């Protein structure tokens, strides 16, 4: 017989061991921060553990990613799930996923999403659990510096981009850096970030952005989120995170959550300076790639990211409706 219960701090070593058995690497830093966040902010997480004979043999984490619990349109992401290989083929993964879905539905969450590698053995499991392809794309690029991408034919793409900035003339990267100060994000930037995002999206995403800022400043392995200033005034931002990998070393991939430029400062190299500085910082940290997830029909953002060297990743975004 098995029993499902919330995870607690005493489960950390068992979770790390199960994940390492499945992935071949230790993600101690990642799970330390995830479990600490889940237990300190329970309203934003669902964290389930499955026991057999009093021993933890499975786990699942999900987190709220948009909206608020109990309000229409709230959605969550399946952050991690694993079962001890010695206890495979018993339906424990499905039992954990069903428990996560039950708790989320009880909190008023409408959808649960997940992101997997193309060809992952998880695809069949998630398909059987009711997941289907979501209308989202995953884009990626290496952290090689972008000097060559700013010349010649690329400039036409920048000039045509309406929602983000375009460098003008030769040596655009240097020009952007001279005109735009880019610094690390701070807690005090939240109000301006919310205002910029509201102007760009037409909606107030205060709860979402507050949660993302907390994630990037307190749960990321290192702080890489940035704010751009002109004339001493915040005019743009980019939120990204890098989790710890084996033995506390920085992971090889960064995740970019969101970015925005004050509409009054578009066309002045702000978006360019933010992205260039982010990629330069990640390269210094020996992070190899940066990844982001966007709506499939957000053509303006796709154009911008394409001009920045992003291409489709070998990943799928899946979603399951919750009742």
**pLDDT one-digit tens code per residue, 79-134:** 889 999 999 889 999 999 999 999 998 888 899 999 999 988 889 999 999 999 99
Quick one: angle between helices 28-40 and 12-23, nearest 10?
Answer: 140
Residue 151 pLDDT > 80 = no
pLDDT at 153: 35
Query: With the CA atoms of 81, 85, 86 and 92 taken in that order, what torsion angle do they form, in degrees rounded to the nearest 10?
Result: 30
Whether 138-314 and 2-109 are alike in CATH topology: the answer is yes
pLDDT at 178: 56
Give me the CATH topology for the region 2-109: Aminopeptidase (3.40.630)
Weakest mean pLDDT among 26-35, 120-129, 151-160, 227-236: 151-160
Rounded mean pLDDT of 251-274?
89
Q: Give the side-chain half-sphere CA count within 13 A for 101.
A: 19
CA separation, residue 246 to residues 26, 73, 252 (Å): 5, 36, 10
Q: pTM value?
A: 0.81
pLDDT at 31: 85
One CATH from 3.40.50.970, 3.40.50.300, 3.40.630.30, 3.40.50.920 for 138-314: 3.40.630.30
Weakest mean pLDDT among 45-59, 169-183, 266-280, 290-304: 169-183
| Other CB atoms within 10 Å distance of the CB of residue 170 | 10
Rounded mean pLDDT of 64-75?
66
Choice between 146 and 298, residue whose per-residue pLDDT is larger: 298
Q: Looking at the chain, how many residues does it have?
A: 323
| Main-chain phi, psi angles of 152, to 5 degrees | 60, -130
Closest CA to 304 of 212, 148, 166: 166
Rounded mean pLDDT of 252-267?
90
Question: Contact 42/34 with Cβ under 8 angstroms?
Answer: no
Q: How confident is the model at residue 244 (pLDDT cuts 50, 70, 90)?
A: low
CA separation, residue 220 to residues 113, 245, 269 (Å): 21, 11, 27
Residue 32 pLDDT > 60 = yes
3-state DSSP percent of the chain in helix, strand and coil, to 5: 40, 30, 25
Give the rounded percent of residues in the chain with a pLDDT score beyond 70.
85
Place of tokens 């004050």: 262
Residue extents of the structural domains in the chain: 2-109, 138-314
pLDDT at 90: 92
Q: Measured between alpha carbons, how far is 257 from 65 in angstroms, rounded to an integer?
A: 10
């Amino acid at each position: 017989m098995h029993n499902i219960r919330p995870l607690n701090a005493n489960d950390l070593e068992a979770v790390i061991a199960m994940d390492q058995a499945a992935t071949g690497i230790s993600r101690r830093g990642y799970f330390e921060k995830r479990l600490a966040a889940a237990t300190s902010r329970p309203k934003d997480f669902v964290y389930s553990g499955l026991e057999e004979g009093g021993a933890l043999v499975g786990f699942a984490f999900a987190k709220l990613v948009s909206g608020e619990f109990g309000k229409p349109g709230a959605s969550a992401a399946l952050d991690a799930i694993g079962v001890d290989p010695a206890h495979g083929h018993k339906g424990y993964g499905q039992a954990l996923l069903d428990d996560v879905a039950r708790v989320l539905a009880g909190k008023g969450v409408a959808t649960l999403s997940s992101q997997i590698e193309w060809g992952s053995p998880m695809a069949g499991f998630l398909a059987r659990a009711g997941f289907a392809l979501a209308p989202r794309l995953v884009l990626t690029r290496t952290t090689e510096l972008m000097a060559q991408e700013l010349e010649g034919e690329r400039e036409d793409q920048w000039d045509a981009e309406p929602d983000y900035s375009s460098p003008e003339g030769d040596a655009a990267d240097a020009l952007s850096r001279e005109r735009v100060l880019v610094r690390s994000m701070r807690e005090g930037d939240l109000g301006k970030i919310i205002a910029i995002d509201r102007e760009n999206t037409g909606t107030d995403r205060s709860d979402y952005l507050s949660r993302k800022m907390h994630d990037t400043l307190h749960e990321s392995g290192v702080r890489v989120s940035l704010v751009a200033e002109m004339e001493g005034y915040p005019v743009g931002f980019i939120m990204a995170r890098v989790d710890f990998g084996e033995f506390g070393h920085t992971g090889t991939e960064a995740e970019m959550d969101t970015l925005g430029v004050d509409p009054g400062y578009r066309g002045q190299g702000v978006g360019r300076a933010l992205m260039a500085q982010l990629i330069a910082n990640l390269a210094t940290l020996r992070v190899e790639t940066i990844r982001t997830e966007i709506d499939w029909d957000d053509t303006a953002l796709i154009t911008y990211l394409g001009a920045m060297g992003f291409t489709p990743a070998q990943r799928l975004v899946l979603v399951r409706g919750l009742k």
